[in-house]
Amino acid sequence: MLQGDNRMKKIAVFASGSGSNYQAIIDAIKTGKLKASVELLVCDQPKAYVLDRAKSEQTPTFQFEPKTYGSKEEFEKEIVSELRKYDVEFLILAGYMRLIGPTLLKEFSNRIINIHPSLLPSFPGKNAIGQAFQAGVKVTGVTVHFVDEGMDTGPIIAQQALVIDQDDTEETLAEKIHEIEHELYPETIQSLFEQLFVKKEEVTP
């Protein structure tokens, strides 16, 4: 017997920038590829383009300015109380340019996911596409992973490789990487949700 856990998962997207991955998630939900609802967009940059996207998509937002708080713990506690209001189950980081602290990690243990534009553990941190391009590697790619306290160090869930062509520039490489991200992220999130569902079903008598 199923435990009735095949319902839409309630997610929050965390972003600091353009939000093309937020948009890809929204679009995958609209086409039925991802069985989730974006309950909240959390953004730490008041001028980020992702906020315009959230307005158009009517996603509620929680915007905050880290420098107006005394510590990471303080603003993460406020984020937690917002997330609770919406019964959020999973945190999906999509270009959120901050390390997640102990407050959020404890509250959402094993339920925080990130996407990174390189084949981790190579090129963690900022400007991963530029780092890979400048290093002259012939293959790079995209990684989806669980978030832990480190910088892009959590357990890997999925990766997709990409061969760098001789005539690629950093810009064409970035375009190709983003194209992969927009497919891989929603797909990986959905398959993770399905695995959780299967696991629950397996343990049900």
Q: Among the candidate windows 6-14, 17-25, 73-81, 158-166, which touches ligand GRF by CB under 6 A?
A: 17-25
Instruction: Give whichever of 101 and 130 is closer to ligand GRF, judged by the CB atom.
Output: 130
Instruction: Give whichever of 120 and 197 is closer to ligand GRF, judged by the CB atom.
Output: 120
Site for ligand GRF contains 124 (CB under 6 A): no
Q: Among the candidate windows 14-22, 76-84, 98-106, 158-166, which touches ligand GRF by CB under 6 A?
A: 14-22
* Sheet arrangement for strand 90-93: 61-63, 36-43, 9-15, 90-93, 112-116, 139-146, 156-163
Instruction: Give whichever of 151 and 198 is closer to ligand GRF, judged by the CB atom.
Output: 151
Q: Is 142 in contact with 159 (CB distance < 8 Å)?
A: yes
Instruction: Give whichever of 5 and 187 is closer to ligand GRF, judged by the CB atom.
Output: 187
Instruction: Give whichever of 103 and 140 is closer to ligand GRF, judged by the CB atom.
Output: 140
> Contact with ligand GRF (CB under 6 A): which of 53, 111, 116, 145?
116
Joined tokens for residue 181: 């991200």
Site for ligand GRF contains 11 (CB under 6 A): no
In the complex, minimum distance from the CB of residue 132 to ligand GRF, in angstroms, rounded to a whole number: 12
Site for ligand GRF contains 91 (CB under 6 A): no
If phi > 0 it is left, if psi is from -120 to 50 it is alpha, else beta; for residue 52 that is alpha
C-alpha to C-alpha distance for 40 and 192, rounded to whole angstroms: 20
Is-catalytic flag, 182? no
Interface with ligand GRF (CB under 6 A), residue total 12
C-alpha to C-alpha distance for 169 and 148, rounded to whole angstroms: 32
- Tell me the helix, strand and coil percentages in the chain, rounded to 5: 40, 20, 40
> Contact with ligand GRF (CB under 6 A): which of 25, 117, 147, 176?
117
Site for ligand GRF contains 130 (CB under 6 A): no
Q: How many CB atoms lie within 10 A of CB 178?
A: 16
Q: How many CB atoms lie within 10 A of CB 135?
A: 11
The single-letter code of the amino acid at 34 is L
Q: Give catalytic residues, as residue numbers.
A: 116
Residues that bind ligand GRF (CB under 6 A): 15, 17-21, 94-95, 115-117, 181
